Amino acid sequence: MLARDTDWRQGDLITCQAAAALGLVGVTHHGHRVIVITHDCDLPHASEHRVEVIVAELVVKDPKPDPQLSYAKNPRRLHLAYAGADAAPLILELRHGDRRSVPKGDFAERAVKDNSLTLPVDAKRALKQWLAARYGRPAFPNAFEERLRKLSGKRTVEQLIAKILEPDAKYLVGLFFDLGKHRGAEAVEGEPYALSMSIVYDATEGGINARLSAERVAGQLRELFEKTYGMPDLATEIALDACEAVADTHLTLADLRRVDQWRLEFISLRDDDQGDFLPVGEIPA
């Protein structure tokens, strides 16, 4: 079993040889790496009898993180970049469907940590957020999501949102919707959802470029909604009352309690693997 002083942590990599010994990958299969995803506190806990891992795929086609799959922007897929002292970063793609569990006794006996690669603090925070949001992400009212699937030209509004967001994904922290009194409510036909939208950008890392990108996105989203649904005072489906770029440093806990984060994954309790953007979890890490 794992003792209290174990040095295993969430996000650690298991060596290829040890992963093969545990039966998680083939002996000669080097296109996958195994990541520990059990929480740090649960690893040595006596009541936890198994260690959870994910068999992640090595990204070799374009060996750098996809901005739309980084920092938990997609609820079903995640790109993590592991840093090596004398090598290029190792980019891995994680999918929830590739989770496995190992009896803790077997793990303690056979698992060996790969100390040549480390997961940076920001990436580990993204991993935690992605794992937590598997079950914690909000589900918007069916009527609201149905209205977002309205065609605007040849594409739906939600598809066009994705197109608008994609070029600036690396600067954006999240897209937040405030539905006011209709939060969680099914509006009847002819009753519009009053929507306020916040495009939150990374003010610390992105600086002026992030602010300009978020402002550009805000303008394009407002244009899209007014073209599709009409001006707010005349809209009968979605009335976009506000659409603003907001620095992540200005987003308060009170704001976060009022809004929900939107992830473009074409959902209303559907399971298509089409998640396209934005961090998961109601409150960003």
Q: What is the rounded distance in angstroms from the CA atom of residue 197 to the CA atom of residue 240?
A: 8
Do 26 and 124 sit in the same domain of this protein? yes
| Least confident interval from 131-140, 148-157, 231-240, 271-280 | 271-280
Mean pLDDT for the chain overall: 85
pLDDT in tens, 133-191: 776 666 789 999 999 999 999 999 998 998 898 888 888 888 999 999 898 899 999 99
Q: State which H helix or E strand residue 81 sits in.
A: strand 77-84
pLDDT higher than threshold 90 for residue 282: no
**Of 75, 103, 136, which residue constitutes the final position of a domain?**
136
Distance CA 87, CA 64 (A): 13
- Residues 41-45 have a mean pLDDT of 91
How confident is the model over 7-18, as a mean pLDDT?
94
Helix (H, G, I), strand (E, B) or coil at 234: coil
- The total number of residues written for the chain in this structure: 285
Q: What is the mean pLDDT of residues 229-254?
A: 94
pLDDT for residue 137 = 62
Q: What is the pTM of this model?
A: 0.64
Q: Output 163-170 pairs: Cβ under 8 A, ≥24 positions apart.
A: 164/217, 164/220, 164/221, 164/224, 165/217, 165/264, 165/276, 165/277, 165/278, 166/68, 166/276, 166/277, 168/213, 168/214, 168/216, 168/217, 169/67, 169/68, 169/73, 169/277, 170/67, 170/70, 170/206
pLDDT classification of 106: cutoffs 50, 70, 90: very high
Percentage of residues in the chain having pLDDT higher than 70: 87
DSSP 171-198: GEEEEEEE-GGGTT--PPTT--EEEEEE
194 shares its domain with 246? yes
**Domain match, 121 and 179 both:** no
Do 42 and 100 fall into the same domain?
yes
| Average pLDDT for 84-108 | 90
In a domain, 54, yes or no: yes
pLDDT at position 186: 93
Taking 60 as the threshold, does the pLDDT of residue 267 lie above it?
no
Do 190 and 213 lie in a common domain?
yes
Residue 284, pLDDT > 90, answer no
Residues 60 and 120 in one domain: yes
Band of residue 72 on the pLDDT scale cut at 50, 70, 90: low
Does residue 278 lie within any of the structural domains? no
Let me know if residue 284 belongs to a domain: no
How far apart, in whole angstroms, are the C-alpha atoms of residue 236 and residue 192?
5
- Residue 223 forms part of a structural domain: yes
Q: Do residues 72 and 119 touch, judged by C-beta distance below 8 A?
A: no
Please give the average per-residue pLDDT across 21-38, as a whole number: 88
Structural domain harbouring 54: 13-136
Q: With bands split at pLDDT 50, 70 and 90, how would you rate the model's confidence at 226?
A: very high
Is 64 within a domain? Answer: yes
Average pLDDT score over residue span 62-77: 73
The pLDDT score that the predictor gives to residue 252 is: 87
Provide the number of structural domains found in the chain. Answer: 2
* One domain, residues 151 and 199: yes
* Residues 232 and 167 grouped into a single domain: yes
- 89 in the same domain as 158: no
Residue 212 lies in a domain: yes
What span, in angstroms and rounded, lies between the C-alpha atoms of 165 and 176? 13
Of the residues 81, 106, 136, which one is the last residue of a structural domain? 136
Question: What is the rounded average pLDDT of the residues 104-118?
Answer: 93
Residue 87 class from Cβ within 10 Å (0-12 exposed, 13-18 middle, 19+ buried)? exposed
Whole-number pLDDT of residue 71: 67
Residues 208 and 98 in one domain: no
Each residue's pLDDT tens digit, 159-169: 899 889 888 88
Q: For 41-50, 153-162, 222-231, 256-265, which range has the lowest pLDDT when averaged over its residues?
A: 256-265
Report long-range pairs for 230-239 (Cβ below 8 Å, ≥24 apart): 232/194, 235/192, 236/190, 236/191, 236/192, 237/147, 237/150, 237/192, 237/193, 238/144, 238/147, 238/148, 238/192, 238/193, 238/195, 239/192, 239/193, 239/194, 239/195
Is position 4 within any domain? no
In this structure, the answer to whether residues 147 and 232 fall within a common structural domain is: yes
Residue 8 lies in a domain: no
| Same domain, residue pair 114 and 225 | no
**Is the per-residue pLDDT at 271 higher than 70?**
no
